[in-house]
Structure 1
């Protein structure tokens, strides 16, 4: 499990809650002037995940306002891009002469080096801080994206949103050693998302483009396991790359892409066979559910992998 620092206003004396929250946010993100109509009974909760140079903090907070002023910028500037991903609630944001209102699943970015004003409803969101030096976009280009809606339902935005939600809900099989790798993946996804929105992918390094392409491919495979026509060739065609280039992308993996697809299908089928709620589902139906149109082929592959037949495995479970 990833290490996290948790803060709940409920653990603090009511008189001190808003002041403690304001101090915590100023240290977590950057110094800001904050206000709320609910100071007397303020409620908020946040969990800080430090992933190398990147910070992720799922937060639930009552309506409030946040203001970053020139004076505060001169006092302290961590030089971050701050991304907000609202899950419920809405955010009104003003920066760089532009105003926008974002609702659930409408991500946006601000720059801590420029003044901004933010007003929220009751909000459940995931915040993300990435040092600007890690994002390979020139300032003039990046400024075009400030406060702009970034899609969270397709492409790179969807991959980034899924990962942030997974981290927020602590659902991933990640340990402390994974933190720097997760931070690097987040930087690649954010950089690719911003470049894609700008239609400026040439600004990205070859390493970043290949990393994000592999993430897209993995997500495509997970979503397509039930399709018996899923093969390395169809994966390559879906991503408009050659089959040989696809194999080069995965040549450092411990198994071939075809073997990886077969393993994930068998893992899904094995999980369903072990589920008592699915005991009445015929084995051939479970096999077809996970892309094995031939029951005999499924049984042979299952026995080679797990040492028992699907029927024997189900009976043992």
Structure 2
């Protein structure tokens, strides 16, 4: 985990605006209008999580952040308003934001965020490598607003506000679950967002259908006997329809499930919370029913073995080498069907 901070009062008055512009540029935030105010004040505290998410708590005098993050920067940005008020202007319209409100979108989309009073926000820049891949496509709909006073927005806003308040005391361990929780929260918010549901006609409908299907899969990854038919039944559609949706995004059901299980295992392998678990226990808890197969799949996807990956994070390997299918694990036939595609 890396961290840095800046307080404009530590610089001569004539340098403070330029210093602040440079700091926001480092965060990939385009600063448009900065009032010529002798009392201008700004400070930020930044940290980068283990998965590369850049968080910044920004407290400042009035200003306007306007423009677009670089198109070539394949990432998702998110801002939660903690104190003050702000006006968001983007291709979809104009919106007044209140404390706890959240806005988010994919890089490359123009937007303007104007603060007329002193404010505090938590900003997150989430690289594609750290975001659940199924999140990227829906965000092409534009800049989205998540009200922070009710529903999932209230929960996410509370988590991010607590994160901002504890910036100075956080260590790498507590940041790992926050990394994962961010993409899961955003997934849920997207599924319920009317702007996304009505966008792009039938393409938007299919996108949201896939979103809900992926949510079902996420809750059942630990089931080694999970099949396409199981998910189709829970969703209320046909297996053929689900196959078509995955094909539209160049994936298969089985490949998607395998990759999500691998990603869950990868996170747990380097999470100190699960340091007491052996590698085989971790792979079994996420639906793999044969550790040798898991090891091969992990090496093929990440270019290293589970053991080497865990050791690179400074965690000991607790496996005793006795890889056995735990009681209740799926049959070999189910596993073969699941990974054959």
Q: 2:41 matched to 1:43? A: yes
Moved over 4 A (4+): 171-174, 205-211
Name the structure 2 match of 1:204.
214
- 1:85-129 C-alpha deviation (Å, 9 max, x unpaired): 112212212222422221211111233212222211221111122
How many residue pairs get matched?
206
SS in 2 for 1:149: strand
Equivalent position of 1:142 in the other structure? 139
Q: Aligned equivalents of 1:183 and 1:171: distance in 2? A: 14
Aligned residues of 1:85 and 1:106 also touching (Cα < 8 A): yes
For 1:45 and 1:14, the matched residues in 2 are separated by 14
2:106–2:136 Cα contact (<8 Å) kept: no
Q: TM-score w.r.t. structure 2 length?
A: 0.52
Unaligned runs of 5+ in 2: 198-207, 222-272, 277-341
Aligned-partner SS, 2:166 = coil
* TM-score normalised according to structure 1 size: 0.56
Distance 1:83 1:23 in 2: 20
Q: Cα distance 1:171–1:9, how it changes in 2: closer, same or farther (>3 A)?
A: closer
**Partner deviation per Cα, 1:59-79 (whole Å, 9 max, x = no partner):** 11111112215xx746xx423
Correspondence 1:1-317 to 2 at 5 A? 4-30=3-29, 32-51=30-49, 52-68=51-67, 73=70, 77-121=72-116, 122-132=118-128, 134-135=131-132, 136-137=134-135, 139=137, 141-144=138-141, 146=143, 148-170=144-166, 174-197=170-193, 198=196, 200=208, 201-202=211-212, 204-206=214-216, 208-209=218-219
Deviations, residues 218-243 of structure 1 (Å, cap 9, x unaligned): xxxxxxxxxxxxxxxxxxxxxxxxxx
Deviations 1:135-170 (A, max 9, x none): 52464x424461x43032334322321221111111
Cα pair 1:191 1:204 within 8 Å, conserved? no
> Shift in Å at residue 3 of structure 1?
5.7
CA distance 1:131–1:145, change in 2 (3 Å)? same
Asked if the contact 2:24–2:31 (Cα under 8 Å) also holds between the matched residues in 1, the reply is no
- Contact 2:100/2:154 (8 A) holds in 1: no
Change (3 A) 1:33 1:58: closer
Q: What is the CA RMSD across the aligned residues, in angstroms?
A: 3.1
Distance 1:80 1:167 in 2: 21
